[in-house]
Amino acid sequence: MMGVPGSNAPIRAAQYLRMSSENQRYSTENQHNAITEYAGRHGYVVVASYVDAGRSGLSLKGRDALKQLLSDALARPRAFDAVLVLDVSRWGRFQNPDQAAHYEFLCRQAGVRVAYVSEPFGEDVAPLTTIVKHLKRVMAGEYSRELSAKVVRAKRQQAQLGFRQGGLIIYGFRRLLVDPLRNPRQILQPGQAKALDGDKVIVVPGPREELAVIRRIFKLYVEQQLTFREIARRLAAAGVRGHGGEPLSIGSIRNIVSNELCIGQMTYNQTTVILQSPPLKNPEEQWTRFRAFEPIVPIELFQQAQALRARCKKGCWSDAKILEALRELLAEKGRLSQLLINDLKDGPTADTVVNHFGSLSAAYRLVGYQPPPRPAFGMNAKHWSEGAVMKGLRELHAAHGGVSLRLIDGCPDLPSTCYIRKHFGSLDEAIRRAGLPVLNHSDKMRFGWKHRKAAGSDNHYAGVHWTDQALLAALRQLHERHGYTTANLVDQNGKTPSAYYYKKRFGSLAKARALAQLPLLTNSQRVSDGRKRGKLGTLIRRKPRFAGQPPGLGFCSKDILVGLRRLAERDGVISAQMIDNDPDLPSSAAVANHFGKLSKAYELIGVVRLKGKSIRYGLPPRE
């Protein structure tokens, strides 16, 4: 067994598993089995797992598990001292091999070893091993490059045979699943994909009413010279709906006008994306075209539309014309904004202004318009970039050993927590993106208590400063006066802090009694003394925390589930508000605390999530 020097204890290890769709032999189960076997032979115990399923190894993008692993490896304290990976390619197929070496270096610098369990060098760091490991990283990246070239070539060959490459398709057309002999199987709905490698996908015209809308769009654009925005407004007013029941957007109309499917021609290879790089536009001679069906709109009308678009792209709007239009708009409205510019009929769009002058602010300056100061977000009347927030969180963590709501709101180098939640979705997401460890609820509470205690905040109760000696002295005086000390007596005597305050300061009321050198009673003795005080009429019972508080009701799990089922069967649906309004059930918060969350309780009574309903949960529909 290998372990800490001088000890036979196993080494705590985290396993990292990654599987892309390239090969099932790299399934997470196979990786887990290999790592488990290696760990047993070399003295490791796996205490944490980080899994990126269905993720490419070309970059760190989308690999949340690896990001969290690196964050946890750099955190203090951490739960593991080693990382076990199947091989170099599972760590990553980065096109720059130094990127993989950098991530491994970060772990090793923090004292976390990295072992590749199926590689001959394992966790060795000798010079020769380093050379071999670098070659392995280069080979892993080269494999991705070769595979990418093969995929691009295969997709282009399939496009030449008339098979659809890609999932999304414009309004008015459908994806038809066919077998290897081109016999139709079914129309694929948005989000659906083929299940068999032998099956193919072709494009067919959609319903007649949608094809009529496409013809109308071309006529409005070519014959009436309407802009895409004006066409979108007319179609929305006419009740035309696109995918998902939403009105056709300006972008959707622009794609329809420029897409060669409208003349029955499938076009592929207009752009190339290699190894997650930005798309590159290909020259027209490299495009792949296939005549799929009869034109939806006349070819002449389609060509007129392309000529009109080309004229617009070439700059029918000169800098002088744009500035003149902005001056006229400013004279009319007294101000300028992106919304006003886009609503201007026969005027340039905001995107056109930005393309000509770099930004709207630059164009505003040229026409002599000074927009009002932007409202301040966050704290300190300052706009915050993502990089500034990330830097502030890291500095706050380094200074205090953690991050909390109170620390952020009190930090002059950070915006408010409300601002951070608004822009990152949650505080945990911002902390994660800053590369810091994300604590669970218990650890957050523990950190908050520790920080408040270090700041002296916990030494005050009801505005009075209480030292440990003063608390223990008050407890002794209470015992001398009454002959005993119970939690109810401590809560209600009016001269000492609450029993919870004693528990928070000393760990428990019993520990406080021991420190105060009071007699320690067994549980039987406490029960017996309580019964005696009950007979004498001196027993102190728990009082309501506030006036009008109803007496506590005890509910067992079975009673709660029966009541929830009754409520759901009565109305067919169920919600937190309905639970709160039911006099025979505890509050929705109590139900959530009892079962962990409301959805867990709903699952136990057979309630499901409803689609397209104002109330989200209810009984499943009857078939």
CB 344 within 8 A of CB 379: no
CA distance 452 to 554: 35
Strand, coil or helix: 466:
coil
CB 618 within 8 A of CB 567: no
What does pLDDT average to over the chain?
82
CB 105 within 8 A of CB 54: no
Q: Is the pLDDT of residue 401 over 50?
A: yes
pLDDT tier at 453, thresholds 50, 70, 90: low
CA distance 294 to 557: 65
CA distance 332 to 217: 31
Torsion of CA 86, 90, 94, 97, to 10 degrees: 0
Q: Is the pLDDT of residue 119 over 80?
A: yes
CA distance 360 to 331: 17
Mean pLDDT of 382-405: 82
Mean pLDDT of 422-450: 81
Mean pLDDT of 533-538: 80
Identify which of 261, 163, 270 has the alpha carbon closest to the alpha carbon of residue 210: 261
Q: Is the pLDDT of residue 381 over 60?
A: no
CB 564 within 8 A of CB 579: yes
pLDDT per residue as tens digits for the range 290-334: 888 899 999 999 999 988 887 766 556 788 888 988 998 898 888
For residue 288, what is the enclosing H or E element?
strand 288-291
Q: Is the pLDDT of residue 377 over 50?
A: no
Amino acid at residue number 337: S
CB 10 within 8 A of CB 3: yes
CB 555 within 8 A of CB 584: no
CA distance 613 to 601: 20
Q: What is the pLDDT of residue 29?
A: 84
CB-based burial of residue 478 (10 Å sphere; 0-12 exposed, 13-18 middle, 19+ buried)? buried
Q: What is the pLDDT of residue 297?
A: 92
Identify which of 143, 57, 34, 146 has the alpha carbon closest to the alpha carbon of residue 103: 57
CB-based burial of residue 108 (10 Å sphere; 0-12 exposed, 13-18 middle, 19+ buried)? middle
CB-based burial of residue 363 (10 Å sphere; 0-12 exposed, 13-18 middle, 19+ buried)? buried
Q: Is the pLDDT of residue 526 over 60?
A: yes
Amino acid at residue number 480: E
Residue 337: C-alpha distances to residues 11, 321, 329 (Å): 61, 18, 10
Distance of CA 438 to the CA centre of its chain: 13
> Could you tell me which residue, 35 or 375, shows the higher pLDDT?
35
Q: Is the pLDDT of residue 141 over 50?
A: yes
CA distance 81 to 78: 8
For residue 167, report the phi and psi dihedrals to the nearest 5 degrees.
Answer: -105, -45
Whether omega before 283 lies within 30 degrees of 0, making that bond cis, reads: no
Identify which of 20, 76, 7, 85 has the alpha carbon closest to the alpha carbon of residue 46: 85
pLDDT per residue as tens digits for the range 54-97: 777 677 777 888 888 888 888 888 889 999 998 888 888 888 88
pLDDT per residue as tens digits for the range 6-53: 456 789 999 998 887 655 556 788 888 899 999 989 889 999 889 887
Edge to edge, the sheet with strand 617-618 lists 573-574, 617-618, 608-609
CB 620 within 8 A of CB 605: no
Strand, coil or helix: 249:
coil
Q: Is the pLDDT of residue 547 over 60?
A: no
CB 223 within 8 A of CB 298: no
CB 345 within 8 A of CB 307: no
pLDDT tier at 215, thresholds 50, 70, 90: very high
Strand, coil or helix: 13:
strand
CB-based burial of residue 463 (10 Å sphere; 0-12 exposed, 13-18 middle, 19+ buried)? exposed
Query: Taking CA 48 as the corner, what is the angle to CA 45 and CA 52, rounded to the nearest 5 degrees?
Result: 130
CB 154 within 8 A of CB 160: no
> Could you tell me which residue, 255 or 534, shows the higher pLDDT?
255
For residue 609, what is the enclosing H or E element?
strand 608-609
Strand, coil or helix: 162:
coil
Radius of gyration of the chain (CA): 34
Q: Is the pLDDT of residue 285 over 70?
A: yes
Percent of the chain clearing pLDDT 90 (strictly above): 10
CB 78 within 8 A of CB 48: no
Q: Is the pLDDT of residue 153 over 80?
A: yes
pLDDT tier at 5, thresholds 50, 70, 90: very low
